[in-house]
Structure 1
Amino acid sequence: MERGKSLRVDKIVESSDSAAALGSGLLDVFSTPAMVALMEKSAHLLAKSMLPDNQDTVGIELMIKHLRATPVGSSVYAEAELVEIDGRRLDFKVTAYDDKGEIGSGRHTRFIIDPVKFMNKLN
């Protein structure tokens, strides 16, 4: 694990990502839930790239601001930067962008787990 590492995930906003489709609003714009999922994906992939195969992470906290609307069909990306490591707790700065600039930002925390043990506890 190394603080300061970052990872970017790109996507095209589809109608299935819209507020209208996800039920978080009525408009055909990039929804907050879809933006948050993209941010979380970037943090997860970054963490996974630094972990052994027998470990993964789960999201435990999000604090996000959605700053500006983005229309369906636009290119967007989210970037996660690892800013803090405290044992198995990983804190990320996450930011989302479209072709006009920043559309969202915040913090996301993930916790390192053993997937087998985690799933066994659920049964």
Structure 2
Amino acid sequence: MLIEMARQAMYHYVYSCSGYDRGDVSISMNNLGLSCQQYVISSYELELLVCHRESEYRNKPKTVDKIARFYQRGQFVGSLTLAGSVINTRLFKRLRNLSFPPTHWFKLVNLSCA
């Protein structure tokens, strides 16, 4: 839950504060770290603050290095760091276009413990 919330917030940050239009770029994660300081109640509202890890603000950066800080009931509960590359969406789609043979898909295997 925290990772997905932070991922969406990172995209929102890139699209609203970095000079990119929504859908023009994708973020390719190089490094992801999560630190939980307290138990997070999944049914209770979370607040999220995203900012640069370094105090460097650039227009249309080629890399991102962000930190998302999570708060619940006014208390800090954890943080997520993300470092990655900003890639043009057309290039990203070309790079991620893989065709797998049908024999490479996951299969359910019934293992007996007897």
Give the TM-score normalised by structure 2.
Answer: 0.65
Alpha-carbon distance, 1:52 to partner = 3.4
| Equivalence for 2:13 | 46
| Equivalence for 1:81 | 51
**Which of the pair is proportionally richer in strand?**
1
CA distance 1:122–1:56, shift in 2 (3 Å): closer
Give the TM-score normalised by structure 1.
Answer: 0.61
The one-letter code matched in structure 2 to 1:73 is S
From 74, 93, 97, the counterpart of 2:67:
93
User: Sequence identity of aligned pairs in percent?
Assistant: 11
Contact 1:40 1:59 in 2 (8 A): no
Matched, 1:62 2:39: no
| Equivalence for 1:120 | 94
CA distance 1:48–1:56, shift in 2 (3 Å): farther
Alpha-carbon distance, 1:101 to partner = 0.5
Alpha-carbon distance, 1:97 to partner = 0.8
Moved over 6 A (4+): none
**Which of the pair is proportionally richer in helix?**
1
The one-letter code matched in structure 2 to 1:59 is M
Contact 2:36 2:77 in 1 (8 A): yes
Equivalences, count: 90
Contact 1:38 1:77 in 2 (8 A): no
Q: Which of structures 1 and 2 has the bigger CA Rg? A: 2
How far apart, in 1, do the equivalents of 2:53 and 2:67 lie?
6
RMSD between aligned residues: 2.2
Unaligned 5+ segments in structure 1 are 1-33
| Equivalence for 2:3 | 36
| Equivalence for 1:5 | none
How far apart, in 1, do the equivalents of 2:25 and 2:41 lie?
37
| Equivalence for 2:105 | none
How far apart, in 1, do the equivalents of 2:62 and 2:42 lie?
37
